[in-house]
Chain A
Amino acid sequence: MDAPEEISALRRFLLNLKAAPRLVLESAVRTGLPRTDRSRASFVFENLFLHLHPVRTHRWTLRWSTTWGLGILCVTCFLLTLVTGLLLMFYYKPYPDVAYQSIKDIHFVVPTGQFIRNIHRWAANLMVVGVFLHMARVFYTAAYRPPREFNWLVGMGLFILTLGLSYTGYLLPWDQLAYWATTIGANVAQSPRELTDALGITEIIDIGGIQRELLLGSDVVGEEALIRFYVLHVMLLPMALGMLMAVHFWRIRKDGGLARPEDVEQRLGPLGRDTHPVFTQAPLKTYQLVALVKGKTPQVENGPENTLPSMPHLFYAELAVFMLTTLICVGLSIWMDAPLKELANPSVPENPAKAPWYFLGLQELVSFSAFMGGIGIPALVVMGLGLIPYLEREQEGTGLWFGGPGGGRLVVESALFGFLAVSAVEALAISQGWLREWFPDIHQLAVTLFNPGTLITGIYALYSVFVLKRLNSTRAGAMALFTCFLCGYVVLTLIGAYFRGPNWEFYWSPSQWPAH
């Protein structure tokens, strides 16, 4: 009772003041330093930002070759674009001509403005590459199989949103590059008109025209289109992407972490010396929401025996990938500036007007038939990709690179076939022309249905059916088809990027382009 009397309020205040830094730290990090298994666990689940991670991570997941860090690479790129994009938003003015001037200001007078824009642009490009590669990784390790089918679909959504974000960002600088690339995109949106024109029903229902107008808010790429793209780019798409990312990560946890092979224990071997000890006891049940949820959680009967504490094992790996990605973006940004061409000028078309590089394969297909190249084939491919985990439900090879019948050899064969097929069809179309050149009066519908793009698609489909029958495995068929399309897309993109000149004619090198 006397004690409070002994220490005066002033003294207590001073003592508290002295202890304040420690008290603040303790109240923020309630579990102390992660030194024991217990504190390592609470370090993860008591932290809002970390508790998305499991407390313990399987050793298979921690191997570099399991994922090559591609998922984290994509997240890092997204965060980098988010931060740099926010900084750019302070200076960017979404109005024609003024937009261009504001980018010039960002280049020339905003402190490190050009550098920040470079990072934004490189991170965005790297993100597109990363998402491609991440998808390929998940496919080739057969990680889309149950129970992860839905997460594959979420991933597809993220893939499309990434392309959408990239494309909407392309217009914002309002230079010639942006303007004409966007015009191409708008024409692709209008391409169903090719079909409705051929059928003679455009008067009745003009789907292409409606799509184009929805995209541009007007007949031409102008101020309405710019503000539309801006809102999509800085608000709608990033928010959608963020939400879908959260779902994607959450599903990883709920689906039991990353896919791993059946015989993972034998494959992993003994623990390394710098790892922290593991539990050995497999729980018979866990106590999460037992009263509400049917079934069992993934840990039941599986045991945590080959897991390591996420802190530090997983976090150092993730941080390393994060920093490495940042380094790549920063390095590229110092090495090469983001392009900014002349002010957009609707009366001076760029020739050739090229879409962003990741759409050049599509543009190559569009040059054969706007509808099939821009909408028909992409829709088929997206649908096909989405259906993979539902049509291919085998067990063999889950979690292993090129797992399943055929294996790596099949992938090499398919890549070769895919390369030869696309090259042969392209060579034919480039050297001999196509139906329109052979039969000038042919109905447009015939060209829409039968053109180099649909022919390649058909050849690939037939090849994959052939492989499916030969190896008697849906997985083999899927691998053949996926590899062919990947290979075909790369070849088409390269042709679009390096071998197409004015009027989309074929040239071996830009030095042969006509001068005027």
Chain B
Amino acid sequence: MKRNKCLLLISSLACLGLLVAAAAKEGLWQPWRLIQASVTGENGPIDIRLRQIVVPGLRVVDRCVTCHVGMAPGEPPLSGPRVASSHKPVVHDPGELGCTVCHAGQGYATQKADAHGEVRFWPLPMIPLEYSYSGCGSCHTSLKVPNTEILERGRKAFERLDCLACHRLDSRGGTLRIGGAHGMEGPDLSRVGASGYDQGWYEKHLAKTGPGAEPLWRETFAPIDEASLGELKVYLDSRVGAPGLVEAKALFHSLGCRGCHKVNGVGGDDGPDLTKAGERDPGRTDFSGIRGEHTIQNWQKEHLLDPARVVPGSLMPAMGLSQEQAEQLTTYIFSLRTSNLPEAYWPKDRIRVERFGEREFATDGATLYGTFCAACHGIKGQGRHYPGMSFFPSVGNPDFLGLASDRFLAQSITHGRPGRRMPAWGEKEGGLRAGEIRELVSYLRALGGGMSPPPGVDEPRRWAAGDVKAGGRLFEAHCCGCHGPNGTGGLAVALNNPGLLAASDTYLFETIGKGRSNTVMEGFAKPTTTHPALSSAEIEAIVSYIRTWEAGPGERAGSPE
């Protein structure tokens, strides 16, 4: 019995000790208590209590402000450690939307690692500061953005025309004050794309330089030409307070990423759909190929720089991106967070896209080409070759554009080339509308220096009546090295597909004869070091032979003996 009594005493005391320890740990040494204790406000120490931002409409309960106490709504200016400093002025009031809507992380948590989401089983860790513009994507994923070149032209116009002298934009400029040192500066233009601006600003500016105007106005403002005005408009429309996101998305719309990846239902199918790519769960991500920090952002960046190293067996080619480009694309990809916001909180851009069917990419030909075509056909339409894949045709080649009619181009884009990498881009497949495809065709024409075939080039569509067997032998001798036996493709594109064979005989004949300058495809009408000149009859025979593939694989005419 004595033993039992001892055991009872010891276990009771130990239990009591542990309970006291647990209570003390919980009540006294919580890091947030220590932080709040080290902070002083205007009237000395502040109340030490849990603080939180509750937004029922967004189902947000964010206790971040328990440590970042300077950011708590209604908190007077505080002095203390950096963690308690106030939020820098931003577009949205943290008290109105909470913290996690933009920054992600775990709002419920009251300890740093948990709150920042650097723990297991929290799928949305905080977005690192250098990628913080990704956070805007939680709501503003549908912002309409042109490609980089157009945006850059606008920025250059803005700087060239010296708008920064009076106006502030993205934390720059606004030093010149009309009316002297104490005069008013021009309005900050960083957010005009979202808030809207007076469309008649130019006329009003101009009017101020008229008779009786302040000399400074007359010295600083001069008439602007039509083209520059257009460029300025594009640029101002893009200033929504999130330059990092806009620039990143513009890059996405310049490198042709959507050629393989769908976003919100528009894009190719070769790569994974990226609509929710910003919700990548670090707990389900393999970091074994990652150098440097094991954050999902770093994973994404490394993947963009060298896909096969990060995901063994990945089909995505290395795009040859710079570090900065990879970071920008990472910013954009992590902005693709399809948060299930209640509709009342949807911004205008999202409603326009999801309800009214507007586009989240500019629909001019250049942006469309940058968005969907550039990855394969080259930024300037020069074609491209990735190791392990066929050459992608140079669609900007004047030789090609000099033969291909608008109808043929539009058809090729709409229906693609079945059996080749070129997917169909019609509304049901890739998601492009007829008007957009027309824009693309005219942009291609511009790429080729305005080359277009003489009218009636496609008439008659079929005239070649060469010797099929001889054509087959010639094809085997001269073509199948690149285009593969039976035109199944090899280093060069496959020819045995209905998309290409929809072309007229003249198109095929001339392409064989003249070739495509600046590509591997040489004209066969002239002799070179590798082949003799082919006569018109011989080329016609090859065309007739190629035509036999039209019948379809089952009834294909016998290949040459």
Q: Mark A70-112 against chain B: 1 for CB-CB distance below 8 A, else 0.
A: 0000000000000000000000000000000100110111011
**Chain B binding surface SS class:** helix
Partner of B1, one of A316, A330, A333, A516: A316
Stretch at the interface among B15-23, B173-181, B484-492: B15-23
Which among B2, B22, B61 has the greatest number of chain A C-beta atoms within 10 A? B22
Closest Cβ of chain A to B303, distance in Å, is 13
Closest Cβ of chain B to A311, distance in Å, is 11
CB contacts under 8 Å to B, within A325-350, are: 326-327, 330-331, 333-334, 339-342, 348
Q: Are B19 and A323 in contact (CB under 8 A)?
A: no
- Decide if B4 is an interface residue (CB 8 Å cutoff): yes
Q: Mark B115-144 against chain A: 1 for CB-CB distance below 8 A, else 0.
A: 000001111000000000000000000000
Q: Are A274 and B2 in contact (CB under 8 A)?
A: yes
Which of chain B's residues have a CB closer than 8 A to the CB of A101? 61, 108
The answer for the CA separation of A109 and B26 in the assembled complex, in Å, is: 10
Chain B residue nearest to A515 (CB atoms) is B286
- Given known A313-B1, A316-B5, A324-B11, contact A330–B286 (CB-CB < 8 A): no
- Decide if A317 is an interface residue (CB 8 Å cutoff): yes
Which of chain A's residues have a CB closer than 8 A to the CB of B12? 323
**Chain A binding surface SS class:** helix
Binding site for A on B (CB under 8 A): 1-2, 4-5, 7-8, 11-12, 14-15, 18-19, 21-23, 26-27, 50, 61, 63, 106, 108-111, 114, 120-123, 281, 283-284, 286, 288
CB contacts under 8 Å to B, within A445-498, are: none
Partner of A320, one of B8, B108, B123, B284: B8
Q: How many A-B residue pairs have CB under 8 A?
A: 83
- Given known A109-B63, A274-B1, A274-B2, contact A342–B123 (CB-CB < 8 A): yes
Partner of A108, one of B15, B18, B109: B109
The answer for the CA separation of A70 and B5 in the assembled complex, in Å, is: 18
Q: Are B1 and A334 in contact (CB under 8 A)?
A: no
Which of chain A's residues have a CB closer than 8 A to the CB of B109? 104, 107-108
Which of chain A's residues have a CB closer than 8 A to the CB of B27? 111
Q: Are A115 and B26 in contact (CB under 8 A)?
A: yes
The answer for the CA separation of A333 and B23 in the assembled complex, in Å, is: 13
Chain B residue nearest to A318 (CB atoms) is B4
- Decide if A319 is an interface residue (CB 8 Å cutoff): yes
Q: Mark A22-51 against chain B: 1 for CB-CB distance below 8 A, else 0.
A: 000000000000000000000000000000
- Decide if A312 is an interface residue (CB 8 Å cutoff): yes
Q: Are B1 and A108 in contact (CB under 8 A)?
A: no
- Decide if A431 is an interface residue (CB 8 Å cutoff): no
The answer for the CA separation of A120 and B135 in the assembled complex, in Å, is: 38
Chain A residue nearest to B2 (CB atoms) is A274
Closest Cβ of chain B to A248, distance in Å, is 23
Q: Are B14 and A327 in contact (CB under 8 A)?
A: yes
Q: Mark A257-282 against chain B: 1 for CB-CB distance below 8 A, else 0.
A: 00000000000000010110000000
Partner of A342, one of B5, B14, B283: B283
Which of chain B's residues have a CB closer than 8 A to the CB of A111? 26-27
Q: Are A323 and B11 in contact (CB under 8 A)?
A: yes
Which of chain A's residues have a CB closer than 8 A to the CB of B18? 327, 330-331, 334
Q: Are A109 and B122 in contact (CB under 8 A)?
A: no
- Given known A275-B1, A316-B4, A317-B4, contact A104–B108 (CB-CB < 8 A): yes
Chain B residue nearest to A340 (CB atoms) is B121
Which of chain B's residues have a CB closer than 8 A to the CB of A104? 106, 108-109
Chain A residue nearest to B23 (CB atoms) is A112
Which of chain A's residues have a CB closer than 8 A to the CB of B7? 320, 323-324
Which of chain B's residues have a CB closer than 8 A to the CB of A109? 50, 63, 108, 110
Which of chain A's residues have a CB closer than 8 A to the CB of B283? 342
Q: Are B26 and A326 in contact (CB under 8 A)?
A: no
Closest Cβ of chain B to A278, distance in Å, is 14
Q: List 13 A-B contacts (CB under 8 A).
A: A101-B61, A104-B109, A105-B108, A108-B63, A108-B114, A112-B23, A316-B4, A320-B4, A324-B7, A339-B121, A341-B121, A342-B281, A515-B288
Q: Are A112 and B1 in contact (CB under 8 A)?
A: no
Q: Are B122 and A342 in contact (CB under 8 A)?
A: yes
Q: Are A330 and B15 in contact (CB under 8 A)?
A: yes
The answer for the CA separation of A115 and B111 in the assembled complex, in Å, is: 15
The answer for the CA separation of A341 and B288 in the assembled complex, in Å, is: 23
Q: Mark A165-178 against chain B: 1 for CB-CB distance below 8 A, else 0.
A: 00000000001100
Which of chain B's residues have a CB closer than 8 A to the CB of A317? 1, 4
Q: Are A112 and B22 in contact (CB under 8 A)?
A: yes
Which of chain B's residues have a CB closer than 8 A to the CB of A112? 22-23, 26
Partner of A319, one of B8, B22, B286: B8
Which of chain A's residues have a CB closer than 8 A to the CB of B22? 112, 115, 330, 333-334
The answer for the CA separation of A104 and B117 in the assembled complex, in Å, is: 13
Which of chain B's residues have a CB closer than 8 A to the CB of A334? 18, 21-22
Which of chain B's residues have a CB closer than 8 A to the CB of A107? 108-109
The answer for the CA separation of A209 and B266 in the assembled complex, in Å, is: 41
Q: Are A326 and B15 in contact (CB under 8 A)?
A: yes
Chain A residue nearest to B11 (CB atoms) is A323
Q: Which 6 A-B pairs have the closest CB atoms?
A: A515-B286, A323-B11, A104-B108, A320-B7, A320-B8, A341-B121
Q: Are B8 and A516 in contact (CB under 8 A)?
A: no
The answer for the CA separation of A107 and B115 in the assembled complex, in Å, is: 12
Q: Are B8 and A323 in contact (CB under 8 A)?
A: yes
The answer for the CA separation of A317 and B1 in the assembled complex, in Å, is: 7
Which of chain A's residues have a CB closer than 8 A to the CB of B15? 323, 326-327, 330
Chain A residue nearest to B109 (CB atoms) is A108
The answer for the CA separation of A327 and B18 in the assembled complex, in Å, is: 8
